[in-house]
Amino acid sequence: MQGQREVRKLKKKKRSFILESLAIRVQTGSAMNHPNVITPLGTPFIERTVGELVAERPGRSRVFQSFGIDFCCQGAKTLSEACQKRGVALDTVVEQLEAEANGPNEVIKNPATLPPAELIDYIVEAHHGFLHREFPRLHVMAERVASVHGGHTPSLIQVKEVLNSLIAELDEHMEKEEQVLFPAIRTLVSGGSAMPLDGPIACMMREHEDAGGDLAQLRALTYEYDPPAEACNTYRALFAGLADLEEDLHRHIHLENQVLFPAALTLAANVVRS
């Protein structure tokens, strides 16, 4: 009971913090301003600044981060200058930026139509893989934004804390799925007998609800992932990354709760009847 009371107090405190942060934002000035250097219209792509390229498409931040290119404090450098400074091939970076803009070319089959074993493969590769790739960069950006801007925008400190909690919870959650639940489902698919699945699946679904609550908090704290006009590029990239995280995690949880888990329970019930 004591633990439940503490959880309720923490949730109440978090809600109060969100309301206070909303009020503080109205009073906040432009101390976070990291102006971009905007090149003239018609400037060749490689001569545009990395700062404006990210401001134009926040998704480009992933490409620059993969090459160690600073698009925030060094955002005034042109793409050509930034690549030269980092010692990376300009053509390679441009190719990756073009790929980011174009997105995947192949038509992907609706994963909800996959049989259970193939759906597990898809979830681990597409969704667990996405989280494993995104969590480290989101963590670094959240820490940096909270450190630089948290003094005048306290909600950013809360964003960092909620995100770090979500990362820790989902890392453990995915490990339980990959090491325990998913192998048990595979055993059922192959015709073997496995442990009862009702309890583990119910646990995973409760943890999904907790993750959904964290996402709702992040959406509220970031004003629906809408950075202020004067926000720096790391600030903008963080909010864009959180929006992508929410979108992917919603699809991820849907596939497990509404497709994989019901199929697994049906398999388990058939084994019991036989």
Q: Give the phi and the psi of residue 229 in degrees, each rounded to 5.
A: -60, -30
Question: What average pLDDT does the segment 109-136 reach?
Answer: 94
| Same domain, yes or no: 172 and 85 | no
| Same domain, yes or no: 88 and 120 | no
Task: Report how far apart the first and last C-alpha atoms of the chain are (Å, whole number).
Answer: 42
| Same domain, yes or no: 170 and 49 | no
Question: What's the structural domain count of the chain?
Answer: 2
**Is the confidence at residue 256, as pLDDT, over 60?**
yes
Q: Which of 107, 141, 157 is the last residue of a domain?
A: 107
| Same domain, yes or no: 191 and 138 | yes
Domain harbouring 73, CATH code: 1.10.3910
For the chain, the residue count is 274
Q: Is residue 9 part of a domain?
A: no
Q: Which of 59, 81, 107 is the last residue of a domain?
A: 107
Instruction: Write out pLDDT tens, residues 198-237.
Output: 999 999 999 999 999 999 999 999 999 999 998 999 999 9
Question: What average pLDDT does the segment 75-98 reach?
Answer: 94
Q: Is residue 34 part of a domain?
A: no
- SS3 string, the chain, reads CHHHHHHHHHHHHHHHHHHHHHHHHHHCCCCCCCCCCCCCCCCCHHHCEHHHHHHHCCCHHHHHHHCCCCCCCCCCCEHHHHHHHHCCCHHHHHHHHHHHHHCCCCCCCCHHHCCHHHHHHHHHHHHHHHHHHHHHHHHHHHHHHHHHHCCCCCHHHHHHHHHHHHHHHHHHHHHHHHHHHHHHHHHHHCCCCCCCCHHHHHHHHHHHHHHHHHHHHHHHHCCCCCCCCCCCHHHHHHHHHHHHHHHHHHHHHHHHHHHHHHHHHHHHHHHHHC
| Same domain, yes or no: 81 and 50 | yes
Q: Is residue 7 part of a domain?
A: no
Structure confidence at residue 253 as a pLDDT band (50, 70, 90): very high
**Is the confidence at residue 186, as pLDDT, over 60?**
yes
Question: What average pLDDT does the segment 262-266 reach?
Answer: 92
Q: Is residue 54 part of a domain?
A: yes
| Same domain, yes or no: 126 and 226 | yes
| Same domain, yes or no: 155 and 222 | yes
Domain harbouring 126, CATH code: 1.20.140
| Same domain, yes or no: 57 and 165 | no
**Is the confidence at residue 145, as pLDDT, over 90?**
yes
| Average pLDDT of every residue of the chain | 85
Q: Which of 90, 107, 124 is the last residue of a domain?
A: 107
Question: What average pLDDT does the segment 172-178 reach?
Answer: 97
- 121 vs 195: CA distance, rounded Å: 20
| Same domain, yes or no: 178 and 88 | no
Q: Is residue 8 part of a domain?
A: no
Structure confidence at residue 36 as a pLDDT band (50, 70, 90): low
| Same domain, yes or no: 241 and 144 | yes
**Residue 57: its pLDDT value, please?**
85
Domain boundaries, position 48: 44-107
Q: Is residue 36 part of a domain?
A: no
| Same domain, yes or no: 70 and 196 | no
Q: Is residue 4 part of a domain?
A: no
| Same domain, yes or no: 229 and 164 | yes
Q: Is residue 1 part of a domain?
A: no
- Cα atoms in the 13 Å half-sphere on the side-chain side of 90: 12
**Residue 121: its pLDDT value, please?**
97
**Residue 56: its pLDDT value, please?**
83
Question: What average pLDDT does the segment 48-74 reach?
Answer: 85
Question: What average pLDDT does the segment 135-151 reach?
Answer: 97
